[in-house]
Amino acid sequence: MNSRERVRKAINHEEPDRVPIDIGGTKVTGVHVDHCVALGRYLGLDVEPPKVYEQFQMLARLNDDMRRWFHSDVIELENPVETWGLENKDWKLWQTNVGSSVLMPGGFRPVKDERGYLRLYDARGVSLAVMAPTALYFDRDCATGMSAGDIPRTDPEAWKRSIPLYTDEELRKLETRARFLHDNTEYSVHGGFLKGGLGTNGIFAGHTIGDWLCLLASDEDYVSGILAATAERTIENLRLYLQAVGPHIDTILISGTDFGTQNGELFSPDTFARLYLPRYRRMNDYVHGHSRAKTMFHSCGSNWNLIEHFIAAGVDILNPVQTSCVRMEPARLKERFGGRIVFWGGGADTQRVLPGGTVREVAAHVRERLRVFAPGGGFVFAAVHNLQHGVPPQNVEAMIRTVLECGTYPLT
């Protein structure tokens, strides 16, 4: 099978020739740029300087050599603008705090403050993001606590209008690129949607996460209005997006919002069912009614008590399957939800095993994940979220080798 056939089988809960692999095929299964450089040097691959196409997570755009080495079956249809309004063009050299030479968009103009921190500003001079002198990432420059007094409200219609729609120029670029990837490669094309709206942390409508959680508990009418307005705008964007690229993609990232923590859900699953589920149902129904693409839902943390609601909302694919969290044991997940939702991830623990395990421990860990998740299809191998800087290249090599050796159907 080629990559596209392999992925399509798996996401339809059928067994392909081998378990599909996704490394670097989505913005939630990517490779940190410093790790990309280190891995390239270890393998002797010409990857430098890589382009940082997603500047918040500092994700590298993999070149063909690296993608082939990973045996990745998925390629992302990137948005022309991914983070902070930076258009991915006019690339220029920049050096990370690790010392890697990378390429950043021409509009990337960080300003160093008196403490040596780098700041990114919008056109109004408002600080959007900040990077410490030894950091690997830019952090959002925003408050995360709670208001001292009454929480200010945002008018739902004004909030809806503030969420940007795809421009004609963006849609033309997306359509051209999607058609090229579909017609000239054998990869499964992943639509990295998430253009504002309900799919990102923009769902807080300008509130801090602390205030938003308080509003969830104290003012459901207001929250309901915000979520309804956000879903409406998201569907407007989905209409534009799918008209441009719908025939060429196999999957689409619908949500990147984390609803779990290490030890449980961020808030009551009943609250999710009342407020979020109907809006996500509308979004998933729209995608299913206007394309053949499967919808991907990214939520880190312990989501055990939410997965049934995800399924009820029409979600096809769950990522990253953070198996180190409470109640997220692989066998438990497969037994309860296997055949009803695709597990896209969970293949290797990026918190402990990949960065801290031996080569033997990584191989044994991956074999166990294949044994649990792979039978019957419905599994795309990916690490639990992006590959981070500092992971020993030998461990990544062991991970890929084990999937190729042990992930062939019929499984033994």
Closest CA relative to residue 21, chosen from 64, 71, 59, 69: 71
* pTM: predicted TM-score of the whole model, two decimal places: 0.96
The string of pLDDT tens digits covering residues 66-84 is 999 999 999 999 999 988 8
pLDDT at 146: 67
Q: Could you tell me what percent of the chain has a pLDDT over 90?
A: 88
Torsion angles phi and psi, residue 68, rounded to 5: -65, -40
pLDDT at 197: 58
Q: Could you tell me what percent of the chain has a pLDDT over 70?
A: 97
How far separated are the first and last CA of the chain, in Å rounded? 20
Q: Which helix (H) or strand (E) holds 159?
A: helix 156-162
For residue 116, being part of any structural domain is answered with no
Residue-averaged pLDDT of the chain: 94
For residue 52, being part of any structural domain is answered with no
Checking if the pLDDT of 142 tops 60, the result is yes
Helix axes 277-290, 304-312, angle to 10 degrees: 50
The string of pLDDT tens digits covering residues 153-164 is 999 999 999 889
Secondary structure (3-state) at 169: helix
pLDDT at 141: 81
Q: List beta partners, residue 94.
A: 102
Query: Which pLDDT band holds residue 198 (cuts at 50, 70, 90)?
Result: low
For residue 138, being part of any structural domain is answered with no
For residue 279, being part of any structural domain is answered with yes
Domain hosting 172: range is: 3-29+70-82+143-406
Checking if the pLDDT of 201 tops 50, the result is no
Q: Which helix (H) or strand (E) holds 54?
A: strand 52-54
- Residue pair 313/281 in contact by the 8 Å Cβ criterion: yes
More confident residue, 199 or 339: 339
Q: How many Cβ atoms sit within 10 Å of the Cβ of residue 285?
A: 14
- Alpha-carbon Rg for the chain in angstroms: 21
- Report in angstroms the alpha-carbon separations of 168 from 87, 159, 173, 174, 244: 14, 22, 9, 10, 10
For residue 129, being part of any structural domain is answered with no
Question: Angle 10-331-257 (CA atoms, 0-180°, nearest 5)?
Answer: 65
More confident residue, 104 or 143: 104
Dist CA 402 CA 294 (whole Å): 27
For residue 282, being part of any structural domain is answered with yes
Stretch 249-256: mean pLDDT: 96
pLDDT at 261: 95
For residue 9, being part of any structural domain is answered with yes
Checking if the pLDDT of 210 tops 90, the result is no
Closest CA relative to residue 27, chosen from 243, 298, 378: 298
Checking if the pLDDT of 392 tops 80, the result is yes
CATH label of the domain that carries residue 248: 3.20.20.210
Checking if the pLDDT of 202 tops 60, the result is no
For residue 114, being part of any structural domain is answered with no
Say how many domains are in the chain. 1
Q: Which helix (H) or strand (E) holds 402?
A: helix 393-406
Checking if the pLDDT of 200 tops 80, the result is no
The string of pLDDT tens digits covering residues 21-36 is 999 999 999 999 999 9
Six token digits for residue 199: 């799919």
Stretch 294-302: mean pLDDT: 97
Checking if the pLDDT of 259 tops 60, the result is yes
The string of pLDDT tens digits covering residues 91-113 is 999 999 999 999 999 999 999 99
Torsion angles phi and psi, residue 75, rounded to 5: -130, 140
